[in-house]
Amino acid sequence: MPISNKILDFMDRGSWIRKMFEEGIALKKQFGEENVFDLSLGNPVMEPPQEFFDELKSIASKPIKGMHRYMPNAGLEITRQAIASELNKETGFSFSSNHIVMTCGAGGALNVVMKTLLNQGDEVVIFSPFFVEYQFYADNHGGTCKIVNPDENFLPDFESLFESINEKTKAVLINSPNNPTGVMYSKEILEKIAQIISEKEKQFDSEIFFISDEPYRKIVFDGLEYPHIFQFHPRTIVATSHSKDLALPGERIGYIAVNPNYTNQDILIDGLVFCNRTLGFVNAPALIQYLVVNLQSVTIDISEYQNKRDFMYQELSSIGYETVLPQGAFYMFPKSPIPNDVEFIEILKEQNVLAVPGRGFGCSGHFRISYCLEDSTLEGSISGLKAAFQNI
């Protein structure tokens, strides 16, 4: 066998989205692309905002000398300063470029953070349902994940959180707005998480980091205000990207932001920069770093996603599906009409509708649909969703 048993196991555990993607290709060949409605992938069809193309044209017509050369491993000073300035406006904190490390997407950012923080056997507390890669990222760096179950609204069970933190806990990781539920943690939720972290730090005489994975931070609906985590705990770290807010997932551009009020920030940031280099990223891609300098306050049209959310929520509810109304991101996580979510996914597939079973996100009994898709795909899926619900 050319690969390890552990990787074989991980591939099997993390294959649901890929499995549905491949089955979608087969169905489209059989029935025609226009007759198959793939809601499984969170790959936005929305194009980047016009400002991105303006920047691209500008830099192509007037290239900066040396712009494609190596740079400091933390990234371009001009880009980090632009991000710091925007964070200062959003948070009221005093960020400088030194608090920012440019990374290859949020996934790269999280791997850099975990590589920097984790000793062998350390634990990262995560909340179900969760992005499945978290477990693999922790394992990459000698750690494991401790899973906290949610309440009926996909918010943290605080008693479970309290019991999950022990002397091995190095970090608590949140994802808000959440993939796969679209739920956003309120200020009160974040305050409570931070309070529990602080209590446990005193109990174990340890430092526990509060990490926020937030590529959907700017995709928030209904006029809600996003509560930044920096105000709740001094040992806070953000890992994020422009994959979603600028519709640039293929460009792999993200960053890490370290709380400027953290006492030991210098050694932490040195560690992050070192790991960015030694994990093989070296630095985030140069061209895209230049392109996002003037785009820190720009986003795609959030109202388009809200309209898609409203349509899908109304249609699913009228059919009879139970689902929590997403407050952000572009996913919905309805309850499966039958206990076995994998079995229900197969029923949906018979109607040429593809979704992802909830167990792929550590939460059986539900399924995820993405609505970052063409309206024709969303509209075309409704009859299949209805037929599947009525035929169980």
Instruction: Name every residue whose Cβ is closer than 8 Å to that of residue 177 and which is 6 or more positions away in sequence.
Output: 183, 184, 214, 216, 217, 219, 220, 326, 327, 328, 329
User: How many Cα atoms sit within 13 Å of 33 on the Cβ side?
Assistant: 4
Per-residue model confidence (pLDDT) at position 392: 79
State yes or no: pLDDT of 328 exceeds 90: yes
Predicted TM-score (pTM) of the model is 0.94
Per-residue model confidence (pLDDT) at position 4: 78
pLDDT tens for 227-267 read 999 999 999 999 999 999 999 999 999 999 999 999 999 99
Lowest-confidence range among 24-28, 130-134, 354-358? 24-28
Per-residue model confidence (pLDDT) at position 1: 67
pLDDT tens for 90-124 read 999 999 999 999 999 999 999 999 999 999 999 99
> What are the structural domains, with CATH classification, of the chain?
5-48+300-390 (3.90.1150.10), 66-295 (3.40.640.10)
Instruction: Name every residue whose Cβ is closer than 8 Å to that of residue 219 and which is 6 or more positions away in sequence.
Output: 177, 244, 245, 299, 302, 305, 328, 329, 330
Q: Please, are residues 213 and 364 in contact by the beta-carbon 8 Å criterion?
A: no
State yes or no: pLDDT of 304 exceeds 80: yes
Per-residue model confidence (pLDDT) at position 38: 92
Per-residue model confidence (pLDDT) at position 5: 75
State yes or no: pLDDT of 351 exceeds 70: yes
- Cα(85)–Cα(241) distance, integer angstroms: 16
Joined together, the tokens standing for residue 212 give: 């926020």
Instruction: Name every residue whose Cβ is closer than 8 Å to that of residue 185 and which is 6 or more positions away in sequence.
Output: 155, 156, 174, 176, 193, 227
For 57-81, what is the mean pLDDT? 95
Q: Please, are residues 118 and 287 in contact by the beta-carbon 8 Å criterion?
A: no
For helices 341-350 and 16-31, the axis angle rounded to 10 degrees is 20
Per-residue model confidence (pLDDT) at position 17: 65
In the predicted model, what is the mean pLDDT of the chain?
A: 94
% of the chain exceeding 70 in pLDDT? 94
The pLDDT confidence band at residue 3, using thresholds 50, 70 and 90, is: confident
- Say which amino acid occupies 81: Q
Per-residue model confidence (pLDDT) at position 14: 63
Per-residue model confidence (pLDDT) at position 165: 98
Q: How many CB atoms lie within 10 A of CB 96?
A: 13
The pLDDT confidence band at residue 391, using thresholds 50, 70 and 90, is: confident
**Short-list 77, 98, 68, 52, CA closest to 243:** 52
State yes or no: pLDDT of 11 exceeds 80: no
Under DSSP, is residue 313 helix (H, G, I), strand (E, B) or coil? Answer: helix
Lowest-confidence range among 72-76, 79-83, 149-153, 287-291? 149-153
The pLDDT confidence band at residue 43, using thresholds 50, 70 and 90, is: confident
Per-residue model confidence (pLDDT) at position 355: 95
Per-residue model confidence (pLDDT) at position 18: 64
For 174-201, what is the mean pLDDT? 98
* φ/ψ of residue 197, rounded to 5: -60, -45
pLDDT tens for 374-388 read 999 999 999 999 999
For 307-316, what is the mean pLDDT? 98
